[in-house]
Amino acid sequence: MELSRERIYVSDFRQGLQGGVSIGVGYLPIALTFGLLAKTTGLSLMETVSMSVFVFAGASQYISLSLIAVGASVFEIILTTFIVNIRHLLMSASLNEKVEPASAWTKSIYAFGITDETFSVAATREGTVKTGYIYGVIVLAYGSWVINSGIGYLIGASLPHSLQESMTVALYAMFVGLLVPSLKKSRKVMFLAVLAAAFHSILEFFSWLSAGWAIVCSTLLSSIIVEGIEYLRKKGGMGHGK
Protein backbone atom coordinates (compact mmCIF):
# COMPACT_ATOMS: atom_id res chain seq x y z
CA MET A 1 0.00 0.00 0.00
CA GLU A 2 2.69 2.47 1.02
CA LEU A 3 4.77 1.30 -1.89
CA SER A 4 2.05 1.84 -4.49
CA ARG A 5 1.29 5.29 -3.11
CA GLU A 6 4.96 6.10 -3.45
CA ARG A 7 4.94 4.89 -7.04
CA ILE A 8 1.96 7.11 -7.89
CA TYR A 9 3.80 10.04 -6.34
CA VAL A 10 6.89 9.33 -8.44
CA SER A 11 4.89 9.17 -11.67
CA ASP A 12 3.16 12.49 -10.81
CA PHE A 13 6.59 13.95 -10.17
CA ARG A 14 7.84 12.70 -13.52
CA GLN A 15 4.83 14.20 -15.31
CA GLY A 16 5.58 17.44 -13.49
CA LEU A 17 9.15 17.39 -14.77
CA GLN A 18 7.78 16.96 -18.28
CA GLY A 19 5.37 19.84 -17.75
CA GLY A 20 8.29 21.93 -16.53
CA VAL A 21 10.44 21.41 -19.64
CA SER A 22 8.89 24.28 -21.58
CA ILE A 23 9.44 26.55 -18.56
CA GLY A 24 13.04 25.41 -18.36
CA VAL A 25 13.53 26.32 -22.03
CA GLY A 26 11.76 29.64 -21.52
CA TYR A 27 13.85 30.57 -18.48
CA LEU A 28 17.10 29.81 -20.26
CA PRO A 29 17.56 33.13 -22.12
CA ILE A 30 16.10 35.23 -19.30
CA ALA A 31 18.30 33.66 -16.65
CA LEU A 32 21.37 33.88 -18.91
CA THR A 33 20.66 37.56 -19.50
CA PHE A 34 20.07 38.12 -15.79
CA GLY A 35 23.47 36.61 -15.01
CA LEU A 36 25.12 38.73 -17.64
CA LEU A 37 23.41 41.95 -16.47
CA ALA A 38 24.20 41.17 -12.83
CA LYS A 39 27.85 40.94 -13.77
CA THR A 40 27.79 44.27 -15.59
CA THR A 41 25.96 45.80 -12.59
CA GLY A 42 28.89 44.75 -10.42
CA LEU A 43 27.45 41.84 -8.44
CA SER A 44 29.68 38.88 -7.63
CA LEU A 45 28.89 35.39 -8.94
CA MET A 46 27.88 34.41 -5.41
CA GLU A 47 25.49 37.37 -5.09
CA THR A 48 23.98 36.74 -8.51
CA VAL A 49 23.28 33.08 -7.87
CA SER A 50 22.08 33.78 -4.32
CA MET A 51 19.50 36.18 -5.64
CA SER A 52 18.14 33.53 -8.00
CA VAL A 53 18.25 30.94 -5.20
CA PHE A 54 16.41 33.05 -2.60
CA VAL A 55 14.11 35.21 -4.69
CA PHE A 56 13.25 33.17 -7.83
CA ALA A 57 11.33 35.98 -9.53
CA GLY A 58 12.51 37.13 -12.95
CA ALA A 59 10.96 40.56 -13.36
CA SER A 60 11.81 41.79 -9.88
CA GLN A 61 15.39 40.51 -10.12
CA TYR A 62 15.84 42.50 -13.32
CA ILE A 63 14.28 45.57 -11.76
CA SER A 64 16.50 45.28 -8.69
CA LEU A 65 19.56 45.40 -10.94
CA SER A 66 18.45 48.62 -12.59
CA LEU A 67 17.62 50.06 -9.14
CA ILE A 68 21.06 49.08 -7.82
CA ALA A 69 22.59 50.74 -10.86
CA VAL A 70 20.82 54.06 -10.13
CA GLY A 71 21.76 53.82 -6.45
CA ALA A 72 18.30 53.16 -4.94
CA SER A 73 18.11 52.28 -1.23
CA VAL A 74 17.63 48.72 0.02
CA PHE A 75 14.18 49.67 1.30
CA GLU A 76 13.10 51.02 -2.09
CA ILE A 77 14.31 47.87 -3.81
CA ILE A 78 12.48 45.58 -1.38
CA LEU A 79 9.28 47.62 -1.63
CA THR A 80 9.41 47.52 -5.43
CA THR A 81 9.96 43.76 -5.33
CA PHE A 82 6.88 43.41 -3.12
CA ILE A 83 4.73 45.48 -5.47
CA VAL A 84 5.93 43.59 -8.53
CA ASN A 85 5.27 40.20 -6.93
CA ILE A 86 1.96 40.93 -5.17
CA ARG A 87 0.21 39.28 -8.14
CA HIS A 88 1.35 35.90 -6.87
CA LEU A 89 -1.06 36.32 -3.95
CA LEU A 90 -3.89 35.97 -6.43
CA MET A 91 -2.25 33.07 -8.23
CA SER A 92 -1.63 31.11 -5.02
CA ALA A 93 -5.20 31.73 -3.86
CA SER A 94 -6.43 30.44 -7.21
CA LEU A 95 -4.16 27.41 -7.29
CA ASN A 96 -5.11 26.53 -3.71
CA GLU A 97 -8.63 25.81 -5.01
CA LYS A 98 -7.25 23.24 -7.45
CA VAL A 99 -4.52 21.35 -5.63
CA GLU A 100 -5.02 18.05 -3.84
CA PRO A 101 -5.24 18.35 -0.03
CA ALA A 102 -1.81 18.48 1.60
CA SER A 103 -0.33 19.60 4.90
CA ALA A 104 0.40 23.29 5.47
CA TRP A 105 4.08 22.34 5.53
CA THR A 106 4.00 20.75 2.11
CA LYS A 107 2.07 23.67 0.68
CA SER A 108 4.39 26.24 2.19
CA ILE A 109 7.35 24.47 0.60
CA TYR A 110 5.97 24.38 -2.91
CA ALA A 111 4.53 27.89 -2.49
CA PHE A 112 8.12 29.12 -2.83
CA GLY A 113 8.11 27.95 -6.44
CA ILE A 114 4.94 29.76 -7.58
CA THR A 115 5.87 32.00 -10.50
CA ASP A 116 3.75 33.20 -13.44
CA GLU A 117 5.00 30.23 -15.42
CA THR A 118 4.77 27.40 -12.87
CA PHE A 119 1.33 28.69 -11.88
CA SER A 120 0.14 28.77 -15.49
CA VAL A 121 1.33 25.24 -16.20
CA ALA A 122 -0.24 23.82 -13.01
CA ALA A 123 -3.46 25.84 -13.16
CA THR A 124 -4.35 24.92 -16.75
CA ARG A 125 -4.09 21.20 -16.00
CA GLU A 126 -7.37 19.33 -16.01
CA GLY A 127 -8.76 18.11 -12.71
CA THR A 128 -7.03 18.16 -9.35
CA VAL A 129 -3.36 19.05 -9.38
CA LYS A 130 -1.24 16.48 -7.53
CA THR A 131 1.43 17.54 -5.07
CA GLY A 132 4.05 15.44 -6.84
CA TYR A 133 3.21 17.16 -10.12
CA ILE A 134 3.76 20.63 -8.65
CA TYR A 135 7.08 19.56 -7.19
CA GLY A 136 8.16 18.21 -10.59
CA VAL A 137 7.29 21.43 -12.43
CA ILE A 138 8.97 23.57 -9.80
CA VAL A 139 12.16 21.53 -9.49
CA LEU A 140 12.76 21.80 -13.22
CA ALA A 141 11.86 25.49 -13.46
CA TYR A 142 13.89 26.44 -10.38
CA GLY A 143 16.86 24.35 -11.49
CA SER A 144 16.88 26.01 -14.90
CA TRP A 145 16.58 29.46 -13.32
CA VAL A 146 19.38 29.06 -10.78
CA ILE A 147 21.84 27.16 -12.98
CA ASN A 148 21.36 29.41 -16.00
CA SER A 149 21.80 32.55 -13.87
CA GLY A 150 25.24 31.22 -12.94
CA ILE A 151 26.05 30.19 -16.51
CA GLY A 152 24.91 33.59 -17.76
CA TYR A 153 27.26 35.27 -15.32
CA LEU A 154 30.14 33.16 -16.60
CA ILE A 155 29.51 33.02 -20.35
CA GLY A 156 26.32 34.97 -21.19
CA ALA A 157 27.75 37.20 -23.88
CA SER A 158 29.09 34.36 -26.01
CA LEU A 159 25.65 33.07 -27.06
CA PRO A 160 24.80 34.24 -30.63
CA HIS A 161 22.83 37.47 -30.39
CA SER A 162 20.12 36.50 -32.87
CA LEU A 163 19.40 33.32 -30.92
CA GLN A 164 19.27 35.18 -27.58
CA GLU A 165 16.86 37.59 -29.18
CA SER A 166 14.60 34.92 -30.67
CA MET A 167 14.45 33.11 -27.36
CA THR A 168 12.80 36.09 -25.71
CA VAL A 169 9.55 34.86 -27.28
CA ALA A 170 9.76 31.54 -25.41
CA LEU A 171 7.70 32.34 -22.33
CA TYR A 172 5.02 34.17 -24.29
CA ALA A 173 4.82 31.26 -26.72
CA MET A 174 4.41 28.96 -23.72
CA PHE A 175 1.53 31.06 -22.33
CA VAL A 176 -0.14 30.92 -25.75
CA GLY A 177 0.42 27.17 -25.92
CA LEU A 178 -1.22 26.77 -22.50
CA LEU A 179 -4.17 29.06 -23.21
CA VAL A 180 -5.25 28.02 -26.71
CA PRO A 181 -6.40 24.43 -25.96
CA SER A 182 -8.78 25.72 -23.23
CA LEU A 183 -9.76 28.60 -25.49
CA LYS A 184 -10.94 26.15 -28.14
CA LYS A 185 -13.09 24.30 -25.61
CA SER A 186 -14.86 27.16 -23.89
CA ARG A 187 -16.22 30.58 -24.76
CA LYS A 188 -15.91 31.63 -21.14
CA VAL A 189 -12.13 31.13 -21.29
CA MET A 190 -12.03 33.31 -24.40
CA PHE A 191 -13.96 36.11 -22.70
CA LEU A 192 -11.69 35.92 -19.66
CA ALA A 193 -8.48 36.08 -21.64
CA VAL A 194 -9.59 38.75 -24.11
CA LEU A 195 -11.07 40.97 -21.40
CA ALA A 196 -7.95 40.70 -19.22
CA ALA A 197 -5.73 41.40 -22.23
CA ALA A 198 -7.83 44.48 -23.05
CA PHE A 199 -7.71 45.80 -19.46
CA HIS A 200 -3.98 45.18 -19.30
CA SER A 201 -3.43 47.00 -22.60
CA ILE A 202 -5.40 50.02 -21.37
CA LEU A 203 -3.53 50.12 -18.03
CA GLU A 204 -0.21 49.68 -19.79
CA PHE A 205 -1.00 52.34 -22.38
CA PHE A 206 -1.88 54.99 -19.82
CA SER A 207 0.70 53.63 -17.32
CA TRP A 208 -1.55 54.42 -14.37
CA LEU A 209 -0.24 51.49 -12.37
CA SER A 210 3.04 49.68 -11.84
CA ALA A 211 3.49 46.42 -13.75
CA GLY A 212 2.63 44.24 -10.75
CA TRP A 213 -0.63 46.01 -9.92
CA ALA A 214 -1.62 46.26 -13.58
CA ILE A 215 -1.63 42.45 -13.85
CA VAL A 216 -3.48 42.05 -10.54
CA CYS A 217 -6.15 44.58 -11.54
CA SER A 218 -6.73 43.33 -15.07
CA THR A 219 -6.90 39.70 -13.90
CA LEU A 220 -9.30 40.50 -11.05
CA LEU A 221 -11.55 42.79 -13.09
CA SER A 222 -11.91 40.25 -15.86
CA SER A 223 -12.45 37.29 -13.48
CA ILE A 224 -15.08 39.17 -11.45
CA ILE A 225 -16.95 40.59 -14.45
CA VAL A 226 -17.18 37.22 -16.23
CA GLU A 227 -18.22 35.46 -13.01
CA GLY A 228 -20.79 38.21 -12.34
CA ILE A 229 -22.32 37.83 -15.79
CA GLU A 230 -22.53 34.08 -15.36
CA TYR A 231 -24.11 34.46 -11.91
CA LEU A 232 -26.74 36.89 -13.21
CA ARG A 233 -27.56 34.62 -16.14
CA LYS A 234 -28.03 31.62 -13.88
CA LYS A 235 -30.12 33.66 -11.48
CA GLY A 236 -32.27 34.94 -14.34
CA GLY A 237 -32.91 31.35 -15.36
CA MET A 238 -31.66 31.98 -18.87
CA GLY A 239 -29.48 28.92 -18.87
CA HIS A 240 -28.37 29.12 -22.47
CA GLY A 241 -24.68 28.85 -23.31
CA LYS A 242 -22.00 27.57 -20.99
Q: Interaction with another protein in 135-194: which residues (CB under 8 A)?
A: 162-163, 165-170, 172-182, 184, 188-189, 192-194
Q: For the chain, first and last CA: distance in Å?
A: 41
| Contact letters for another protein, residues 83-102 (x by CB under 8 A) | --xxxxxxxxxxxxxx----
Q: Does 208 bind another protein (CB under 8 A)?
A: no
Q: Which residue(s) pair with 99 in the sheet?
A: 129
> Residue 166 Cβ, how far from another protein at the closest point, in Å?
4
Q: Is 51 in contact with 172 (CB distance < 8 Å)?
A: no
Residues in contact with 187: Cβ distance below 8 Å, sequence separation at least 6, in sequence order: 241, 242
Contacting range for another protein; rule: CB under 8 A; set: 1-9, 139-147, 149-157, 212-220: 212-220
Of 204, 209, 210, 213, the one binding another protein by CB under 8 A: 204
44 is an interface residue for another protein by CB under 8 A: yes
Check binding of 209 to another protein (CB under 8 A).
no
With beta carbons less than 8 A apart as the criterion, state whether 153 and 48 touch: yes
Count of residues near another protein by CB under 8 A: 93
Q: Buried b / exposed e across 162-178, counting CB within 10 Å, b at 16+? A: eebeebeebbeebbeeb
Contact segment (CB under 8 A) with another protein among 7-15, 108-116, 141-149, 151-159 equals 108-116
Least separation, in Å, of the C-beta of 219 and another protein?
A: 4
CA torsion through residues 76, 77, 82, 85, sign: positive
Q: Binding segment for another protein among 1-9, 145-153, 227-235 (CB under 8 A)?
A: 227-235
- Considering the complex, what minimum distance in angstroms separates the CB of residue 68 from another protein? 8
CB 57 within 8 A of CB 115: yes
Beta pairing partners, 129: 99
Choice between 7 and 172, CB closer to another protein: 172
CB-based contact 188:242 (threshold 8 Å): yes
CB of 5 to another protein, least distance (A): 22
Residue 218 binding another protein, by CB under 8 A: yes
How far apart (Å, rounded) are the C-alpha atoms in residues 217 and 59? 18
Residue 207 interacts with another protein (CB under 8 A)? Answer: no
Residue 206 to residue 201: CA distance in whole angstroms: 9
Q: Binding to another protein by residue 50, rule CB under 8 A?
A: yes
